[in-house]
Amino acid sequence: MTASSSGPLSPPMEPGAIIGILGGGQLGRMTALAAARLGYPCHIYTDEQDSPASQVAAKTIVAAYTDEAALAAFAKDVAVVTFEFENIPEITAATLARHVVVRPGPRCLAIAQDRLREKDFLNGIGAPTAPYRRVTSVQDLTHALRDLGRPAVLKTARLGYDGKGQVMIDGNMKPAAAWKAMGAAEGVLEGFVDFEREISVIVARAPDGTWAAFDPVENRHVHHVLDTTIAPAAIPRDLADKAIGTARHIAEQLDLVGLLAVEMFVTREGGILINELAPRPHNSGHWTMDACVTSQFEQFVRAICGLPLGSPARHADAVMKNLLGDEVLRWREILAEPAAKLHLYGKKEPRPGRKMGHVTRLLPRKDQQG
Ligand code: AMP
């Protein structure tokens, strides 16, 4: 048994205890809905008015993430704090951790919110990534490009997601132009991976060290944003087992309590390279809401409350499609499809590229047909 870094082993939280969630987006919303089913009200802490999560939560505090008095007041009423995005200031997690158990702990956040720290950590525990270099100037970038070759991908070390702060450097682009386009003081240059496909694994880990993983899925991106998830990924069993084993190893080395999504590239040689970690529910796990015995959100709640983990077994195959921007206007057609499950996030304006909802289309399990 492994004790959690976020505090000594504590008894399971009784239904009725309050879960605090930092962040008011759709991941917080779907977590609050799953928590409500198990009898746990949620309090949301966000800097946004009328957020998707606040629409379904028992209470919302709207304040800056660095407002120590507001954070202390939020912590006073809740039994555990978690977060639905990792880019919260370190001071926020540290302040909260003085008052209440934070799961996953501040160390997981610190690693996952900085690409450089994340890559150093991963390589340090034998989980390989694409080759990379830290760059803090055009000169560094010029040297790093010489080392890694072209094409390469320049990313901001911090605050990057969905391809934001990312520059693809092809054969012609001048280092100075790439540096300017990235627009940050610290970056990571990554060798370009000519991958066969992208997959992800979501693993849950409880305070007593027990764990459970969902089947690996394939993710297709459009303009760097997740568009479609195919469950399960069409990969050989031994590769699926390796992907799950790698995700489990990372969760254990992070001493994570909660959920960890591990995005991976499958190389043309059949190997795995880790692209990114997210210590929270993940867009590529939305299909589990309709196709698994336990959804990623319920599993997340079980893990952070110290409850037994649920079965991650898949009872159907599934294809999850994000509804970005105006795609949400097709809600009526989608509802008319017999095997489609629609989820809308309560966002008012369908701005281009904004995640408005998703639809999961269920299919019979291929491996049980015939
Ligand atoms: P990220 O924000 O790091 O998850 O990147 C978003 C997407 O950009 C990934 O899902 C890939 O499709 C692509 N990408 C990122 N890094 C690389 C890389 N080193 N080589 C090839 N494609 C990449």
User: 217 and 171: one domain?
Assistant: no
Q: Measured from the CB, is residue 350 less than 6 Å from ligand 1? A: no
Closest by alpha carbon to 355, among 87, 52, 61, 33?
Answer: 52
Q: Which domain holds residue 143?
A: 131-191
CA dist., res. 315 & res. 360, Å (int): 14
Among 112, 146, 172, give the residue marking a domain's end. 112
- Give me ligand 1 centre to Cα 224, in Å: 7
Q: Is 151 in the pocket of ligand 1 (CB under 6 A)?
A: no
DSSP state, 194? -
Among 52, 82, 112, the domain-final residue is 112
Alpha-carbon distance 319 to 65, whole Å?
Answer: 35
Does 205 lie in the same domain as 302?
Answer: yes
Q: What is the dihedral sign for C-alpha 99, 104, 107, 111?
A: negative
Could you report the per-residue pLDDT of 64-117, keeping only the tens digit for each? 999 999 999 999 999 999 999 988 888 899 899 999 999 999 999 999 999 999
Q: Is the CB of 324 under 6 A from ligand 1?
A: no
Q: How much is the pLDDT for 160?
A: 64
The answer as to whether 120 is a domain residue is no
**Beta strand residue intervals within 223-316, DSSP E:** 225-231, 258-266, 272-278
pLDDT at 369: 53
Q: How far is the CA of 234 from the centre of ligand 1 (A)?
A: 20
Whether ligand 1 lies within 6 angstroms of the CB of 193 is answered as yes
* pLDDT above 80: residue 8: no
Q: Residue 229: name the closest of 312, 274, 287, 299 by CA.
A: 287
Question: Residue 125 contacts by C-beta under 8 Å, 6 or more apart in sequence?
Answer: 249, 250, 253
User: Distance from the CA of 364 to the center of ligand 1, in angstroms?
Assistant: 31
163 lines ligand 1 (CB under 6 A): yes
- Is 317's C-beta closer than 6 angstroms to any atom of ligand 1? no
Asked, for residue 122, whether it belongs to a domain, the answer is: no
pTM for this one? 0.95
Which residue owns the Cα nearest ligand 1 atom 5?
163
Determine the distance separating the centroid of ligand 1 and the alpha carbon of 193, expressed in angstroms. 8
Question: Whose C-alpha lies nearest to ligand 1, atom 18?
Answer: 192
For residue 161, the ligand 1 atom closest to its alpha carbon is 2
Query: Are 245 and 338 contained in the same domain?
Result: yes
pLDDT in tens, 227-266: 999 999 999 999 999 999 999 999 999 999 999 999 999 9
Q: Which of 60, 81, 112 is the last residue of a domain?
A: 112
Find all residues with CB under 8 Å of 233, minimum gap 6, and list them.
197, 199, 215, 216, 217, 218, 240
In a domain, residue 68? The reply is yes
**351 CB under 6 A from ligand 1?**
no
Give the CATH number, domain containing residue 324: 3.30.470.20
Question: Is the shortest distance between the CB of 298 and ligand 1 below 6 Å?
Answer: no
Using DSSP, how many helices (H) and how many strands (E) does the chain show? 11, 17
Residue 44's DSSP bridge partners are 21, 60
Find, among 188, 162, 33, the residue nearest to 87 by Cα: 162
* Residue at 12 is within a domain: yes
Task: Quick: pLDDT tens for 175-198.
Answer: 999 999 998 899 999 999 999 999
Q: Are residues 105 and 136 in the same domain?
A: no
Q: Pocket of ligand 1, candidates 224, 263, 268: which has the most ligand atoms within 8 Å of its Cβ, to mutate? A: 224
**119 part of a folded domain:** no
